[in-house]
Amino acid sequence: MLSLTATTLKSSIFTQSKTHGFSTTRPVYPKPFTTITAALIPASNRQAPPQQLYQPFRPPPSPIPPKFRSLDTAGKIEVLADRLGLWFEYAPLISSLYTEGFTPPSIEELTGLSGVEQNRLIVGAQVRDSLVQSGAKPELIAAFDTGGAELLYEIRLLNTTQRIAAAEYIVDHDFDTKGAQDLARAIKDYPHRRGDVGWEDFDYNLPGDCLSFMLYRKSREYRSPSEIRTTLLEQALETAVTEKAKKAVTRELHGESEEERAKEEEIKIIRVPVVRLRFGEVAGASSVVVLPVCKAEEGEEKLLEAPMEFEGGGEFGVVEAEKDWSRWVVLPGWEPVVAVRKGGVAVSFRDDREVLPWNGKEEAIMVVIDRVKKTVEADNGYYYLVVAEGGMKLDRGSVLKEKGVNESLGMVVLVVRPPRDDDDDWQINDEDWD
């Protein structure tokens, strides 16, 4: 690399002139001139060129297969008219013709593909591309190489994960277009049926369970007994995947067993209320109750250490306990809780499915226990807190009596569920103890 250095030189020139016969000499200064010298700078001192701050435009890859990219308009029309190649290969040619000004009717006239067929081919190819990009198995993709446009078109409204699961189910069960349509509708409709009878017995992540629930729900629209109802339930039982779903369908198909009916009769005498706490309910309550809290996994020893006596007093209702305790909970002044004057304690469980004898909701719960009432009674319909492996659990008085257990850690007074935005039915009836 060359470095240029400029040096300015000055020179003076004297001239003579005559004025009134006298000769005078004066200097004349011309414009300065510059000399330029060059020096070589080592490569190590050179400055790097500025980095490029933008990325050049790169057009998206063409969906048209390489063997069709060089075709002119007439060639594209010929491929579509003669169906040259696999359907997902020539499907992008339809969109290409649209960009050239062709309309569905004009393409139909030239190729014989109706507007409906054109749409199915385009959408089916897009669904297939999404399966490829999401890493679906090659053998699954290959299963739709022949006549797959109609099947893939039906699962267009599902997300990528659902599309893969639905596509596998369609291939495994050799579904036709109507079967694929029913499956897609069942998967899409399932979340909107929350609260319907039997909804919680089916698994949303399994296409078979979603389809089974749709058939199960339709069967309830017909009288029992009915041939249509029986057929729908038999189909639902055949497509159900999980054991819980199969039991729900079987119960609807054949009715409840003697054991289940006896259990329902027993449930009717349960006297333990289950409530769901509402947002802001404690703040708006006219009276509240403060209880010490124990974790179920901490076991019996921690429960026995909790204060037995505590009460509020004075102008500000300050709560005083007989001993120090680190964890407390404030609940509205519900009648069952207020009735526990001494020995009340709240036991928190991480997952209701692991401890409650009825259908859990996969959420934490808090159980209010009266530690004064430890004696187990078989015929009062109450539940009791007992020691279990890894902590504590609830059990029915009649069951404990059969096991020879006469004393518990305390009687269950109330079960409290946490507040939740999507649960309008905050008060749960006693009959839900199943």
Could you give the CA distance from residue 290 to residue 229 in angstroms, rounded to a whole number? 53
pLDDT (0 to 100) of residue 426: 40
pLDDT (0 to 100) of residue 428: 44
CA neighbours within 13 Å on the CB side: how many for 16?
4
pTM of the shown model: 0.49
pLDDT (0 to 100) of residue 242: 93
pLDDT (0 to 100) of residue 120: 95
Q: Which residues of the chain have pLDDT under 70?
A: 1-63, 65, 67, 256-271, 314, 356-360, 378-381, 421-434
Tokens of 8: 């300015």
pLDDT (0 to 100) of residue 434: 40
Distance of CA 372 to the CA centre of its chain: 45
Could you give the CA distance from residue 209 to residue 240 in angstroms, rounded to a whole number? 5
pLDDT (0 to 100) of residue 386: 87
How far are the Cα atoms of 37, 121, 201, 226, 252 from residue 217, in angstroms, in the given order?
A: 95, 33, 12, 15, 11
CB contact at 8 A, 269 and 396: no
DSSP 22-74: EEEEEEE-PPPEEEEEEEEPPGGGPPPPPPP-SPPP-PPPPSS-GGGTT--HH
Could you give the CA distance from residue 362 to residue 365 in angstroms, rounded to a whole number? 10
Tokens of 93: 């040619």
Number of CB atoms found within 10 A of residue 10's CB? 9
Q: Tell me: the pLDDT tens digits for 327-374?
A: 888 888 888 888 887 888 999 888 877 776 655 677 888 889 998 888
pLDDT (0 to 100) of residue 112: 93
CB contact at 8 A, 216 and 198: yes
